[in-house]
Amino acid sequence: MSLEPLGRPRRLVPGDRVAIVSPASPSPGPAFDAGLEVLRSWGLEPVVMPHAADEDGFLAGSDRDRAADFTAAWADPSIAAVVAARGGYGAQRMIDQVRWGRLQEIGPKAFVGFSDVTALHEAVALRVEASTLHGPMPSWSTFIESAETREHLRQTLFEPERVQKLVSPTARTLVGGKATGVTFGGTLTLLAAGIGTAEHRQDVEGGLLLLEDTGEEPYRIDRALTQLRRAGWFEGLAGVVLGSWADCGPEEEVRAVLGERLGMLGVPVVEDFGFGHCSPALTVPLGLEATLDADEGTLHFAEPALR
């Protein structure tokens, strides 16, 4: 049984209220405020959830409070989108305390984030059956410093038909060809850490797997890829889209690992596609059907990311 496209949230319009949550690490005050100002400049009304600015060591408050904020933001009918302030660490710790039954009742809602937020992308896909956006977060330095990164997210949220076809000028062909499937994935080590949990996908047939990471040495990338392979994550894939590998060691060593672990799958693979921990960074929808052209370096979605 192949992966099926998930439910699409509605697009945003000026005046929409968007909830800001901190499901993982705390956000620096100045960066947090600067990100909110960008959202306001788009005509949005950021709603900072009660515990979004909390700090508890390396976490943005307690697991219970972070989960409560996420649940409340999704369940509030006046909130059009939920935006993670930053990644870091901690999303996996609060997942089991989210009221997923309530989110299922509400259905799809635009959700933006990446890195540690990969754990929530997987949970939303499997439990709410809603598509999400692997995109930059307002407290991230690249979001504040890169106009190209901000504009691509803005278009995805407000005018998604304009970015229905993603074209990466940095993309390189690792294995040529075309493939159509449903996008899923995110940060490699978070996906590997989810194996054996409630967010462990049992079937990825027909999927287009997106992978990226940061700060992982080549042997640790190899280990995570090997774990995914042994867990069945490479069986039946339609194709693979690789993003950035910032601060992961010498580029040639990282490429050698990716080529050895993924090049033998017999499916199209494109590398350096320009999403993840890089600048500029593309926003990539997860849970929707797209066609990968690994020779041209494009990812063309069958429908706009938001309806």
Catalytic positions are 115, 212, 277
CB of 114 closer than 8 Å to CB of 136: yes
Task: Report the distance separating Cα 186 and Cα 241, nearest Å.
Answer: 10
In angstroms and rounded to an integer, the radius of gyration of the C-alpha atoms of the chain is 18
Integer Cα distance of 228 and 241 in angstroms:
15
Cβ(227)–Cβ(192) below 8 Å: yes
- Rounded Cα distance, 264 and 255, in Å: 14
Neighbouring CB atoms inside 10 A of 100's CB total 18
CA trace torsion 260, 266, 271, 277 (10° rounding): -80
